[in-house]
Amino acid sequence: MSDLTRALLGTRSRLFTVMGLVVMLILVVPIVLLVLGLVVPAAICVLVGLLGLAAVVMALLPGRRRWR
């Protein structure tokens, strides 16, 4: 696991913060952008959010080396 992942997901509160930001990127922000008629930025925002979610899931998969 990279040092950046360890720093971001080191505590439970940080994990919930990261997950909250990912949910905002996947759900809330794209809806607002779509209401404003900005389709391409909404699609980009969803893709970035999904990449963030994938990064969090990969960091938390069992079998990965755990940090101290």
Report whether pLDDT(49) > 60: yes
Q: Which residue has the tokens 């900005």?
A: 38
Average pLDDT for residues 43-65, to the nearest whole number?
76
Q: What is the pLDDT of residue 63?
A: 64
Residues 6+ apart with CB under 8 A from 6: 67
Q: What is the pLDDT of residue 22?
A: 76
State the average pLDDT for the chain. Answer: 74
Whether the predicted model's global pTM rises above the 0.85 cut: no
Q: Are 42 and 30 in contact (CB under 8 A)?
A: yes
Distance CA 68, CA 44 (A): 35
Q: Cβ–Cβ contacts within 10 Å for residue 28, how many?
A: 12
Q: What is the pLDDT of residue 11?
A: 63
Q: What is the pLDDT of residue 68?
A: 47
